[in-house]
Structure formats: C-alpha cells, structure tokens
Amino acid sequence: MLGIKINKKVRNILIAILVIILVFVLFSLFPDKNFRKKYEGIDLSTSAVSSHVKSYTEYQDEFEGAKSASSIVNVDIFAYDSGNSYGVHDEENYYNKKVVFTDDKSYVSWNVNVEEEGLYNIEMEYIATPSRNVDMERILYINGAVPFSGADVLSFSRLWKDEGDVKYDNQGNQIRPVQVESFAYQTVRYKSDLGYEIDPYKFYLKKGMNTLSLESTNEPMVISSLRLVPVKKYDTYDAYVAKYPAMNASNSGKDIKIKIQGEDSALRSDPSLFARYDRSSAISEPYNVKTTVLNYSGGDSWKSPGQWIEWDFDVPEDGWYTITVQGRQLYQRGSVSCRSLYIDGEIPISDVKAIEFKYNTDWKSVTVCDSEKQPYNFYLSK
C-alpha cells in the first residue's frame, strides 16, 4: 500500500520522504517553515567544536551581502595535502571508480583555487564501506576553521534494502526480510544533520587559494568526487511547468493509474525503516484480519531529520502526473509531520521541500497540491 542514484531512463524515483508512505512519524515540525527564524541565535549542536564557533544564522548574517557563485569548482581529491593528512589513501578500483579512502580516524586536506568569490554548496559523491552499520560523520574545516555550528556534525547515511523476498511462516503470516546494506555511490550536498535547515548549507569561499579539510569522527568513508557548486535554487511551479511540453489531453496521464505499495520500497537510509503491518482499518492494503500482511513503511521509526525512503516505479508514457499519498500521522496530537518530495533525486519545486501531514487517527489520501488545494502536476518520463 499506499523520499543520485538509479537509472533515470527506466525509473522515476521518489526518494521519499513523502510519496506513498504509509505512516508518517512525527518529528514535531513547526507551523512556521522558516526554521532559521525560530532558532535564530541558538547554537543547536552539542559538539565541543561548536562551542567555539558562530551559529549558522550568524554565519549567514556575516556574509549576507555575498553573491551566490555561478561557477563549479572541481576539487582534485587525489591531490590532498599529504603533509597535512593522515588515515588516507587512494584506491584504483573501488566499485568501478578511483577513490580516496578515509578511515575512521582520518584527516584529509585539499588546497582549492577559487576564481569566483562567493557562496557555494559543497557537493560530494561517496560510498560506505562495511563497518559498524552506523552513519559516517565528519567535521568540515574551511581555511583551518570550522565555519559555523553544524559544519562539525556532518552526517552521511548508508543504504539499506531487503535481503530477498517476503517469506511466510506455517500459519501464512508474512515475515519481513532481513535488512542488509547496499553499497552504491550517493551524491549529496552538505546540509544540517538536525533538520533545522532544509536547504543545503551555503559556504563562503574567498577568491584565490582556499583549503577544505574533513576530519573523521565516526566510521570510514570512501570519496569519489568533491566540488563546489552554485547554491541550490528551486523552481517555482510556473517555472517548472515551463520547462516541459505543454499539458494537454494526450499527455496529462489522467487515464493512467499507478499504485506503488508503501511496503515495497527499494532503498532506505536506516535499517529501521522496514515494511510493517497494520490491521486497524480495511482501508490499508493489502489487508487481512487473520494473518500478518506487510502493508506500509515508516511508522514510529521515521522520526529523525534526514531519514528517507525510496520507491522505484515505471510510467508507461511521458506525461504529466499527480501524486497522491495514502498515509496516517497519529503520533502527536496538534502537530504536523513534514516530508520532502524528491523525483529522480531532485526536489522539483520549492513548494514540496516541506509537505505537511496533519495529525489524524484515520488513513487519509492526500494529493500533493498548492495552498488553494489545486493538485500539482509533475512531468515523468517513460
């Protein structure tokens, strides 16, 4: 029943955080989506490093007049400063790529020539290594200093999947598969691990030579690329629609119904986000009052910022489609649960960065729509 990295030509990916979840666990989000204002001036990190640096709000205020850069700066990850790095080595062929391996007590530093002064996002492609099955954590230094509180607690998730198909016991009850790690490259932009900033962090880089350094605080990690990129900007819905063929009767997808079962997720960021079962309502499907049938994903394990679930599916033809989620958020009365919607690894429009799901004890079908309750149409390729 019913939020990078998979072949975009054959599948449209919703990296969840939304789409077709079944139970939205509450991470008590706030009515005001501007988390910066709510937490202005407060240092939210407990890290010892953070106590000596400014908050992200103060950092943004300091560089308020700085322009967003328009260029991309590729970092030569193999040209790290060997005199100022340790616990680091190159590997020629790690899952078909040449990479830099950083162990769980490593420090690696790169000298980076920046031709355009301004604000950048930092984008990295990485892959996990077999280890203790917990997220990888790093401290970022720019020109020898942690730029702000939050840059010292960067967290990078692993990938998890089901090991095989659902099995049955001798009573006909479904047994969920064991969760195993999936090793594949992920591309991410550095962002808040606490969830108080939805957008990736903006970093100021001066013109000329700069240093970027990563210190490991938890787990080995393999890096395949690192670069400075222009600050992420999200389309308005009108701008998004203008990029694709005009909507008409032949490509609106109105006669096509695609149902993706919530329990059938392909990947997830945490092994606790496995398929579950609910017998409280016949609305949930598949439904069986006598036996255990897996019929949703999420639940009370889906409560931490940054957790995501991903579903894969095919569409029969190019066109415009609406998205409806059947879900239930019954974990905290009077609060909302928010999820971001990703399609093929990207947030398509600004309005789906934080979609709200209000408290309700019943399963509800919620169509992704604007403030006037008009459904958004999303263009999906065959």
> Given a cut of 50, is residue 48 above it in pLDDT?
no
**Are the CB atoms for 216 and 103 separated by under 8 Å?**
yes
- CA 141 → CA 148, 153, 154, distances in Å? 9, 11, 11
- Res. 360 pLDDT band, cuts 50 70 90: confident
- 10 occurs within a structural domain: no
Residue 190 located in a structural domain: yes
**Is 261 within a domain?**
no
- Nearest CA-CA partner of 337 in 10, 13, 21: 21
CA atoms within 13 A on the CB side of 319: 17
Residue 199 lies in a domain: yes
φ, ψ dihedrals at 339, nearest 5°: -135, 145
CATH code of the domain covering residue 199: 2.60.120.260
Q: Would you state the pLDDT for residue 53?
A: 83
Predicted pLDDT at 16: 40
Read off the tokens for 189.
Answer: 């932009």
Predicted confidence band of residue 253 (pLDDT cuts 50, 70, 90): low
Q: How confident is the model at residue 28 (pLDDT cuts 50, 70, 90)?
A: very low
Range of the structural domain that residue 61 is part of:
34-157+183-230
The pTM (predicted TM-score) of the whole model is: 0.84
Structural domains of the chain, count: 1
**DSSP letter for each residue of 137-196:** EEEEEETTB--STTTTSEEE---EEESS--EE-TTS-EEPPPEEE----EEEE---SSSS
Predicted confidence at residue 297, as pLDDT, reads 93
Assigned domain for 57 exists: yes
305 within some domain: no
Residue 134 lies in a domain: yes
Q: What is the mean pLDDT of the chain?
A: 87
> Can you tell me the mean pLDDT for 67-83?
97
| Exposed / middle / buried, residue 24 (Cβ in 10 Å: 0-12, 13-18, 19+) | buried
Q: Is the dihedral of CA 109, 115, 117, 121 positive or negative?
A: negative
Question: Which residue carries 């308020």 as its tokens?
Answer: 64
Q: Distance between CA atoms of 229 and 72, rounded to whole angstroms?
A: 5
pLDDT at 39: 43
pLDDT tens, residue by residue, 102-157 = 999 999 999 999 999 999 999 999 999 999 989 999 999 999 999 999 999 999 99
Instruction: Please report whether residue 371 resides in a domain.
Output: no
Mean pLDDT of 37-49: 45
